[in-house]
Chain A
Amino acid sequence: MKNNIRVERAIIRISQQELADRVGVSRQTINAIELEKYTPSAIVIMKIAFIFNKRVEEIFSLEENDWK
């Protein structure tokens, strides 16, 4: 799953730690999500979208591998 969390963070000027605190996860988790090493749960995805005030599909997108 692809995401553009890093870009969105830069737009609203918040750090990984701040985003992690607002979502309720660790900074390591946010970093792993940004590096696409970890696929978060639906709750975390929706929380991130809410914080950025965007729709989920504007931040996250499925890849071909996700359909297998």
Chain B
Amino acid sequence: MKIILYICSINQLKKLFMKKSYLFPNYFKKIGWAVSIPSIIYYILIICFDNLDFKIKMFSIFPSDQVFKESSWFSITDTTFGLTFLPMLLMLSLVFIAFSREKIEDELISKIREKSLIWSVLVFMSLFIFCTLLLYGMLYYYFYIFNIYLLLILMIFKFNFEIYKLKKSLKNEE
């Protein structure tokens, strides 16, 4: 609760929007990892065991999937945690991981981040075209769900791999 209040404080918002960089502060990366790992585990468990998901009621603009009930605009609808909050939490956490500042954020890191983003978009599009042409049925459905997060996952992987390579090639000073 304190963290939410701190984040929402007016001064912090001003700093965030006045900065030239749109990156989140470094501590958002830890928040991202802390939320994404349990979310991914829970996602896999829901796919394997349907009864682990629980029903909730949510406000809907138009619940179009109700078969036996009359649908009306701006009403409460039945849904599940796995269809609402879980995807949102996972997406937010991946965004936090991908777009948080490094401890030392300089031009080289920015360049690596930019290259990682371009690479991930190109690989994402290639995989999307490949799978759309060659996968069908339930396999394509699962790929389509996974596809929502694929771009961010690719970018996180590429960025961290490049940083690892950079640190590995660091020579000791004379």
Contacts and interface: CB of A to CB of B under 8 A. Distances in A.
Interface of A: 6, 10, 15-17, 24-29, 31-32, 35, 37-38, 40-41, 44
In the A-B complex, the 4 residue pairs with the smallest Cβ-Cβ separation, listed nearest first, are: A25-B106, A26-B104, A29-B108, A16-B173
> Which size class do B's interface residues fall under?
10 to 19
Contacts of B51: none
Report which residue of B167, B173, B174 has the largest number of chain A beta carbons within 10 angstroms of its beta carbon. Answer: B173
11 contacts: A6-B174, A16-B173, A25-B104, A28-B167, A28-B170, A29-B107, A31-B171, A32-B108, A35-B171, A40-B107, A44-B107
A46 B108 CA distance: 16
Interface of B: 104, 106-109, 111, 166-167, 169-171, 173-174
A16 B106 CA distance: 15
Nearest to B106: A25
A24 B106 contact: yes
Contacts of A37: 169
Given A28-B166, A32-B166, A17 B173 contact: yes
A10 B173 CA distance: 11
A44 B107 CA distance: 9
Contacts of A29: 106-108
Nearest to A10: B174
A6 B174 CA distance: 9
A44 B106 CA distance: 10
Nearest to B174: A10
A38 B111 contact: yes
